[in-house]
Every structure is written in structure tokens, then in C-alpha cells.
Amino acid sequence: MGFYRDRLLPRLQDKLMSNEQMREVRARVCAPLSGDVVEVGFGTGLNVPYYPAEVARVRAVEPSSMCRRISEPRRARSGVPIDDAGLTGESLDLGSESVDAALSTWTLCTIPDLEAALAELLRVLRPGGSFHFVEHGRAPDPGVARWQGRIEPVWKPVAGGCHLTRPIADVLVDAGFTIDRLDTYYLEEVPRPFGFTFEGHAVKT
């Protein structure tokens, strides 16, 4: 699995996560960003074209060396300065209360210790700072949720540790965020166990 996980999977994800529907979602989630932003799960830089002019700097967090390599041309074209801020969401190379906003797009599903990562985001966000996210997770429909539970053990090694059953909104609230906008829906043309989506933003109060 080492070659697949380290070399092939980043290239597959770069292609699969850049379709028209996902580009529209990325643009929508990134649009309100401003100031200094930490992006957890920077990946191959698919969000870079959607950083608005109000963003002063992006601090990128990404564990995969292949993803960082693939992202280099996008970084080079970016009108926003991009610095590295660590390899994992559970340990950010940032000072406390040092960023205005956080961004995560289809990342919270793969972080091994999600509680620790959210605690780190709360640490580095300034009071009133916002967390902008789009994630897939546990569906409210019992039949879909049952299938997610069945599929997840097989899916995780195939998809880089991706969990299908995380109740994203509940986890954010439990971590201490206040959600001030949340839209939930199924992505179009995606099988329902993989497509239930949480999109919104939360605030550090």
C-alpha cells in the first residue's frame, strides 16, 4: 500500500476532486475568506484559484510530499503568499491566536485524531475567527448510514484513511465551535454513501 498511498493516490485525488461540481463548491466555501488563513489539508492546491483578494496569506498544512510537489505550479501562480505550517492538523506550526480564518475542504474525514486537530484550530484562531468547511460524513437517512458503516472499513485504506461516518456538525460543536451557517445535501452523481455533505462556517467565540 506504500506506493499506492504515497505516489498514486495523490494523483488520483487531484483528478477526482477537481470536477465541475467540486470546483463550484470550492469557490463558494473560499469566497468569504479574508486575512491570514490556515488551510488544513492543502492537498494539491485545488483551492488556490479560489482565494479571494481579501486573503493576505495562506498557511498550508499537508502531510503528503507528493501532494506538495503536485501543488507547486498552483502555488507559483497564486496571487496570495502561501507558507507551510506543518504536516498534520493535530500539530500546527503556528502561534496561538495568530490567524483570522481556517479552511478545510474534504479533509476532516481523513485526520486520525480529529478532536486534537479541531483543538489546534481553536488555539490558532483569533477570537471571532471563522472556520470555513465542506466535508462529507454520516448521512441522516438510516439506510444510507448503514451502508456507510458497512463500506467504511474497506474504504479507509483505499481512500487514505477517509471516514464516511463522522457526524461533522456534531463534532464541530463538541469541539467548541459555534456553527453560524450549515447546508447539508447529497452531491450530484455521487453514490449516496459517499456524497452526503456538510458545508458551512463556524466561529470561535
Residue 98's pLDDT band (cuts 50, 70, 90): very high
What pLDDT, in 10s, does the model give residues 105-124?
A: 999 999 999 999 999 999 99
Residue 36's pLDDT band (cuts 50, 70, 90): very high
What value does the mean pLDDT of the chain take?
96
pTM of the model: 0.95
pLDDT at 3: 84
pLDDT at 75: 97
What pLDDT, in 10s, does the model give residues 58-94?
A: 999 999 999 999 999 999 999 999 999 999 999 999 9
pLDDT at 5: 84
pLDDT at 46: 98
Separation between Cα atoms, residue 80 and residue 55, nearest integer Å: 7
DSSP 190: S
Residue 129's pLDDT band (cuts 50, 70, 90): very high
Say whether domain 2-203 belongs to CATH 2.40.128.20. no
Q: What are the angstrom distances between the C-alpha of 125 and each of 37, 97, 99, 100?
A: 9, 5, 5, 6
CA 133 to chain centre: 6
pLDDT at 152: 98
pLDDT at 1: 55
Separation between Cα atoms, residue 73 and residue 64, nearest integer Å: 16
Separation between Cα atoms, residue 21 and residue 18, nearest integer Å: 8
Strand pairing of 178-186 and 196-203? antiparallel
Longest dimension (CA), the chain: 45
Q: What are the angstrom distances between the C-alpha of 21 and each of 18, 26, 113, 186, 192?
A: 8, 9, 29, 12, 15
Residue with cell 489546534: 120
- C-beta of residue 131 within 8 angstroms of C-beta of residue 125: yes
- C-beta of residue 92 within 8 angstroms of C-beta of residue 60: no
- C-beta of residue 204 within 8 angstroms of C-beta of residue 123: no
